Copies of this chain bind each other. A is one copy, B any other.
Amino acid sequence: MKPTHIDPERDILAVWHDRGNVAAWSRAVRERRIASRRLVTDAAVVSTVCTRSPRRVIDLGCGEGWLVRALAERGIDALGVDAVPALIEVARAAGGGRYRVMDYAAVAAGELRERADVVVCNFSLLGCESVDALLRAIPLLLSPAGVLVIQTLHPWSACDEAPYRDGWREGSWTGCGDGFGEAAPWYFRTLAGWQQAFLAAGLALAAVDEPLHPETGRPVSILFTLQPQA
């Protein structure tokens, strides 16, 4: 972590409030430029969500809305929530679902007032305290028997050469194409770190999926399916 990140939680949002990044990101997603998403992780999250046969889904940190559209196409009532107005603008312009501009702090404070059979966070849990607070609010967003589905970087591959311990890392747009400015910092979590966050939020692990890269045979991401603790 460079010392320039006095407040990395704030820096994450700042990067996404940059219109140039929003435009470059929307292009990267819509033109399917990110190989891991195209080959593995897009299908993995759709499949894991649909396994639960949800009628309603809330996509937290929905970005430009591809997952909301994919679920809406399958007849699911999908609500996308994102802190960044410009992302919600491009999402709405593409149609196919409902959208709300709201940051995680507001969701954590109970302001969303929606319930769904599945709440999904697809590569959208990038912070530390902001994520811990959000996770604690998840049970209020779930209908009875509802689940939270998180897809995130697999701790093994994401760890890279750095020490295997929870902590802030420098971000990068590598593999996303061009047109990007500054990248956002992100909070690396070990498997044990994720489990601690789930426990603190009263969420119990119901399933783990580790979708594999078709060529390397290594896990590309990890999907946690969680239920409020009984």
Question: Which residues of A line the B interface, CB within 8 A?
Answer: 156, 163-165, 190-192, 195-196, 199, 204-210, 212, 217-219, 222, 229-230
Contacts and interface: CB of A to CB of B under 8 A. Distances in A.
| Majority SS at the chain A contact face | mixed
Contact of A204 (B190, B204, B218): B204
Given A204-B204, A210-B191, A163 B199 contact: no
A15 to B, nearest CB: 28
Contact of A205 (B156, B165, B204, B217): B204
A156 B206 CA distance: 21
Of A191, A196, A199, A218, the most chain B CB neighbours within 10 A belong to A191
Nearest to A191: B208
Contact of A195 (B165, B208, B217): B208
Nearest to A230: B230
Given A164-B212, A190-B219, A191-B191, 11 more contacts: A156-B156, A163-B217, A164-B218, A165-B212, A190-B210, A191-B222, A192-B207, A195-B205, A196-B207, A199-B206, A230-B230
